Structure formats: structure tokens, C-alpha cells
């Protein structure tokens, strides 16, 4: 991904090789001529590489790393991927799920927003494999879990085995926002389209 100056992450990593090479050479108390004798690479080539005037390649970097008693990773930093999670939002039966973790993560995090409850809507508890943790951000959350039927407010958290029959929704009067962490399987179940007219809930 390009930065503000248009350079890619890989290009920025390559640009660090020269300064790293010079730093390690000086730490080893070696002059350009010393390193040249150890590698059969001319001192002028090493100098140009250190200053960024010569593009690095394996034919240069490998013998230089060996002479400096380094691993390649010491000269060629690992490219760190962009840590930001792409914003993906899905809406199922008026319940909004905003993805907060990458698809590759073993635990899936999401911001879930429930609409105000509908008059006459009844709980419809479900079961599935997994474990779930949730934290109420705003509004009032109704959680039906086994024989429990409780209402939670902002700042309250809960965790439970999803093999226990459970259902949750806004307790009203307005919408409810919460953070939820669950397994990939749990996420698939939560985002599965429900039959038309079914009450929204997890």
C-alpha cells in the first residue's frame, strides 16, 4: 500500500537496508575498506549502497551480511502488513454487525447494534458450539440464557457457553450497542439470514 509520498511498504523497507548496513558496519568497527576486503565488493559500491545511491540486491546483501555476522533479517526488515481492519458492515433483520477483526482471526469481534424492540416480539433462543463474550456500550440489553432473563446496561459484560439456549436483543426504549467476541462458527451463525418475519436476535 502506497504511503503519502507514493512509496510502497516494500520500497520503504528496501530503503532501510543502506542505513542498517552502515550502522552494523560501524558497530563492528569496520571501515569501508575493511568490509571490501572481507567481501570482494568495492568500497565505493558499499558506500553507494549505504547512502542509497545503489539499489540493493542479493548478490550484494548476502556476502555483506555474512561478513558482518548477520542474518538477512537484520539488514532487510520484515514488511509489516497494514494493521487496520477493513470496515465491513452487514445488516440482518435490522440488526447491524460491524466487523472489528480480520477474517483470519480465530476469534471474531464485532460491534452489534440492535434496533428498539418490536411490540409482542418473543425470545427465540438458539444453541451452537462456541463461547461468547459481550460488553454493552449503550442502551439496555435483554439477555435470555437458559433459565435467566436479565437486562444489562452500559458498562456491563457477560460471557457464556453458546451450547446453552440463548437470545439477546434491545430491552428498549431505544437501540442497543454492544461489543461481541465469538468464534468463527458463531459469527457465521449470527450473520446467517433469518426467515422473513423472524424476530431479530443472537
Residue 7: predicted pLDDT: 56
Judge contact between 187 and 110, C-beta under 8 A: yes
30-34, 120-124, 195-199: least confident range:
195-199
Residue 191: predicted pLDDT: 62
Judge contact between 24 and 75, C-beta under 8 A: yes
The pLDDT tens digits for 57-110 are: 889 999 999 999 998 878 876 767 788 888 899 998 899 999 999 888 878 899
In this predicted structure, the answer to whether residue 32 has a pLDDT above a threshold of 50 is yes
In this predicted structure, the answer to whether residue 200 has a pLDDT above a threshold of 50 is no
Q: Locate the domains of the chain by residue range.
A: 9-75, 89-190
In this predicted structure, the answer to whether residue 195 has a pLDDT above a threshold of 50 is no
**For residues 130 and 117, what is the distance between their CA atoms, to the nearest angstrom?**
26
Return the beta strands (E) in the chain as ranges. 89-92, 95-99, 107-114, 131-138, 141-145, 148-152, 157-161, 166-170, 176-183
**For residues 114 and 149, what is the distance between their CA atoms, to the nearest angstrom?**
17
In this predicted structure, the answer to whether residue 15 has a pLDDT above a threshold of 90 is no
| pLDDT averaged over every residue in the chain | 85
**pTM metric for this prediction:** 0.60
The pLDDT tens digits for 156-190 are: 999 999 999 999 999 999 999 999 998 766 655 66
Fold observed for domain 89-190: Jelly Rolls (2.60.120)
Residue 104: predicted pLDDT: 81
Judge contact between 112 and 141, C-beta under 8 A: no
Judge contact between 143 and 75, C-beta under 8 A: no
Residue 183: predicted pLDDT: 74
Q: What is the mean pLDDT of residues 187-194?
A: 56
> Under CATH, which architecture does the 9-75 domain have?
Orthogonal Bundle (1.10)
Number of other residues whose CB lies within 10 A of the CB of residue 16: 14
Max Cα–Cα distance, the chain, nearest Å: 86
Amino acid at each position: 500500500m502506497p504511503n503519502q509520498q507514493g512509496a510502497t511498504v516494500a520500497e520503504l523497507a528496501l530503503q532501510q537496508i543502506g542505513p542498517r548496513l552502515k550502522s552494523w558496519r560501524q558497530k563492528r568497527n569496520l571501515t569501508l575498506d575493511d568490509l571490501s576486503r572481507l567481501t570482494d565488493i568495492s568500497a565505493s559500491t558499499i558506500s553507494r549502497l549505504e547512502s542509497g545511491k545503489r539499489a540493493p540486491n542479493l548478490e550484494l546483501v548476502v556476502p555483506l551480511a555474512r561478513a558482518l555476522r548477520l542474518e538477512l533479517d537484520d539488514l532487510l526488515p520484515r514488511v509489516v502488513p497494514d494493521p487496520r481492519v477493513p470496515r465491513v458492515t452487514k445488516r440482518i433483520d435490522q440488526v447491524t454487525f460491524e466487523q472489528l477483526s480480520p477474517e483470519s482471526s480465530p476469534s471474531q469481534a464485532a460491534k452489534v447494534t440492535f434496533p428498539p424492540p418490536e411490540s409482542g416480539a418473543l425470545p427465540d433462543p438458539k444453541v451452537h458450539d462456541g463461547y461468547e463474550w459481550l460488553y454493552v456500550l449503550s442502551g439496555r440489553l435483554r439477555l435470555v440464557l437458559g433459565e435467566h432473563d436479565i437486562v444489562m446496561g452500559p458498562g456491563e459484560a457477560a460471557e457464556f457457553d453458546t451450547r446453552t439456549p440463548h437470545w439477546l436483543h434491545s430491552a428498549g426504549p431505544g437501540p442497543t450497542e454492544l461489543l461481541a467476541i465469538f468464534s468463527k462458527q458463531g459469527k457465521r451463525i449470527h450473520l446467517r439470514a433469518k426467515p422473513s418475519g423472524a424476530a431479530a436476535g443472537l
